[in-house]
Structure 1
Amino acid sequence: MEPRAGDGCFLGDVGFWVERTPVHEAAQRGESLQLQQLIDSGACVNQVTVDSITPLHAASLQGQAQCVQLLLAAGAQVDARNIDGSTPLCDACASGSIECVKLLLSYGAKVNPPLYTASPLHEACMSGSSECVRLLIDVGANLEAHDCHFGTPLHVACAREHLDCVKVLLNAGANVNAAKLHETALHHAAKVKNVDLIEMLIEFGGNIYARDNRGKKPSDYTWSSSAPAKCFEYYESKPGSVVQILPYPMLPGTTIIHPGPQFASS
């Protein structure tokens, strides 16, 4: 394909850094008719801003599915990364747009990024879109993808208190005791003082005795006599409720405690 006059790039190639272009603006606002006219006139669909945002990033982040479709059909690079390392699929997951996620996947978007960067699954857990979480897992998303800032997707879902996402991850086999600086999902649940989340994690084998890099157990992050504290006290006082030894490396003698009665927040 020949470059269009004034483009500075091929239609499907990444262009030079620019300010936001009319293509970026139309894509972000969901102005599909204007976007199509720009594409037909030869506008470059892969021009990047100074922070490496492409029009496809802009459309995906706003959940503009029709514009995402137009851009992809015109040759937009499906796995372009912005300055933060995010792809359009990451942005679509951040927006919670299952339609955009499906479109990007149909054009070959990569589900698993390089090591130690936030993945689309992290973004879906951050936004609380359990539907996106399920879809990503179905197409092979790495449950244990580790971001140097956020930890695993389970850490993110727990920190944001997205119980539906947590349940989907755990049912899919996410490691409930995965650690970031020795901090587990149960530490996050204790910090946000969410009893339902605490009970769910313990039900799936969460280690109530795990210590973080400060030497603290999850219960150490609760207030005395609070509902979360009483919940931990119950499990810690029930050694007879042991159902099995954890199959993965943990502290010596670590056990799974069978969940007891619900603890209402008050």
Structure 2
Amino acid sequence: MGNITKRGSRDLMADSAMPLESLVSALQSRLYDAIIKEDCDTIKTLLRSHPVNQPLTILASSTGHRLLSQTQPIFPIHLAAEYRKPQSLLCLLQHGADPEVRDGQGLTTLHLMLLNWPVTSTTWTKPSTRIQKILTDIQRNTVMCLRILCDHGAQVNARVDSGNKDSPLHLAITYGNYSVLSILAQNGAQVNAINESSMAPLHMAAYILNKNMIETLIACGANVNCAIASTGVTALQLAVCTASSKAGRLLAAGVGCIRLLLNHGAQVNAQDHEGHTALHEACFGGREVIINLLLEFKANVNILTRNGESPIYMYLQNSSNIRDVTLLARLLDRTYPLRLTNKQGILPAGIMLPEFHILRETLIKLSKKPLTLEAICKRNIRNVYGEKYKSHLKKLLPSKLWNSIYGIYDFTSLLK
């Protein structure tokens, strides 16, 4: 029994007669294969000859995995993370691997893992299919690797060296999924960290209309009213802007994100540096469901931008909006005074088209016609209580008074 030599040791003894360059190549090739196969016993043996934090540079892998050249070195810990090998990753960390070592692009192990996060489908019709099982296993292994890295001191706030200096949370928004966010936050990730573009993770999640990510970030303490320093734009404005360009299911998803932000305290009348509110963005986009939602949360239809543009001005800028006279009438009913021009005295581009000549003249006349004090008071009551409390007011007010307040002037017939 005393003459029996372990297989790994015997291989190294046989290799000792090889030229140094070939010996290094063979050693790195076996280490590469051992990491991919999660052969921890072989990894431990090979680390006696190959420093754990020394990059692999020359590989002739027998497993069919990628080959690396001298100009593309990769550290063993990066290899384990990129290929989602939790046992290999744990073994390397236990033997002194540095999770903060950076590759040639300035990326740490955590960065690389997030950049290579697997994409999984949520539309499987047969959950037991072999392909879905493989993808589920990959997802599970990736989460295990992330937890192992966090448990072994990976810096969850380390920035990428290049580009926007994104934090791991920013990368998780772009490449990961919502479960990653909570894991990072639980391990100390700064949920309100901003990148070089002054965007917090919540801004990015709102812009791509990812409701799960928005919900997770808010639950982890994200500031729902944080504004981008360079523009003053909030997450609500970003969500409205993106959703206004969508239709069908994507529009419905966007409305869900907007409502989620509003329910968690997003300031509906917050203005960016140019004075635009979420309602300005929604009116330009012309999506009735978004405009109605903002009005439900008391969006002010009379706020002007720095250039003197009201929400209805933005609505009339887009000629495709003007054909929806019902929505236009609803906005007109809430707008007073009606300002049809900006500070330069320029009318909205949409109503300048020849086909809207009659409408343009009608609106100009309306803008010059002052309302009575009684009409202004009734309009203010409608704006304050909105449609949401309309039926409640009917129970409190005398029927004659209620009919007087809500028997509003029908702008629709006037605009046709």
TMscore range, shorter length = 0.7 to 0.9
2:157–2:168 CA contact under 8 A, matched in 1: yes
Greater helix content: 2
Residue 169 of structure 1 and its aligned partner are, at CA, apart by: 0.8
Could you tell me which residue of structure 1 aligns to residue 371 of structure 2? none
* Alignment-derived partner of residue 7 in structure 1: 53
Equivalent residue for 1:68? 146
Verify: 1:108 aligned to 2:188, yes or no: yes
CA distance in 1, matches of 2:200, 2:184: 14
Q: Answer whether contact 2:99 2:154 (CA < 8 A) is retained.
A: yes
How far off its partner does 1:153 sit? 0.9
Return 5+ residue gaps in structure 1 as ranges: 9-17, 245-254, 261-266
Aligned pair partner of 1:226 in 323, 327, 350: 323
| TM-score (normalised: structure 2) | 0.49
Q: 1:76 to 1:194 in 2, by over 3 A?
A: same
**1:48 Cα offset (Å):** 3.1
Give the C-alpha shift of residue 236 in structure 1.
Answer: 1.9
Pairwise CA distance, 1:101 = 1.1
- Deviation of the 1:78 alpha carbon: 0.7
Deviates more, 1:94-103 or 1:177-186: 94-103
CA distance in 2, matches of 1:241, 1:30: 61
* TM-score (normalizing by structure 1): 0.73
Structure 2: tracts of 5 or more residues without a match? 1-49, 55-70, 119-141, 244-253, 336-377, 389-416
Aligned to 2:332: 236
* 1:81 corresponds to 2:162: no
Give the residue type in structure 1 aligned to 2:261: L
1:21 to 74, 85, 105: 74
Contact 2:333 2:379 in 1 (8 A): no
Residues 24, 208 of structure 1: alpha-carbon distance in 2 compared, 3 angstrom cutoff: farther
CA contact (8 A) 2:52 2:92 kept: no
CA contact (8 A) 1:96 1:127 kept: no
The amino acid across from 2:222 in the alignment is A
Match of 2:101 among 22, 44, 47: 47
How do 1:140-151 and structure 2 match up within 5 A?
140-147=221-228, 148-149=230-231, 151=233
Alpha-carbon spacing, 1:146–1:40, altered in 2? closer, same or farther (3 Å): same
- Larger RCO (CA under 8 A, 6+ residues apart): 1
SS class of match (1:212): coil
Task: Report 1:123-202 matches (<5 A).
Answer: 123-147=204-228, 148-149=230-231, 151-161=233-243, 162-180=254-272, 181-202=274-295
Is 2:299 the partner of 1:206? Answer: yes
Query: Matched residues in 2 for 1:209 and 1:54: separation?
Result: 50
How many corresponding residue pairs?
238
Give the CA deviation at 1:178: 1.0
User: Aligned equivalents of 1:203 and 1:131: distance in 2?
Assistant: 23
Return closer, same or farther for 1:242/1:34 CA change in 2, 3 Å cut-off.
farther
Q: Give the structure with higher Rg (CA).
A: 2
Query: Do 1:159 and 1:189's aligned partners in 2 also have CA atoms closer than 8 Å?
Result: yes
Give the match's secondary structure for 1:91: helix
The equivalent residue for 1:247 is none
- Percent identity of paired positions between Structure 1 and Structure 2: 26
Q: Tell me, what secondary structure is at the counterpart of 2:322? A: coil
User: Does structure 1 retain, via aligned residues, the 8 Å contact 2:237–2:277?
Assistant: yes
Matched letter for residue 102 of structure 2: V
SS at match of 2:156: coil
Report the AA paired with residue 287 of structure 2.
Answer: N
What's the offset of the Cα at 1:102? 1.5
State the alpha-carbon separation in 2 of the partners of residues 48 and 105 from structure 1: 22
Tell whether the 8 Å contact from 1:80 to 1:87 is kept in structure 2 after alignment: yes
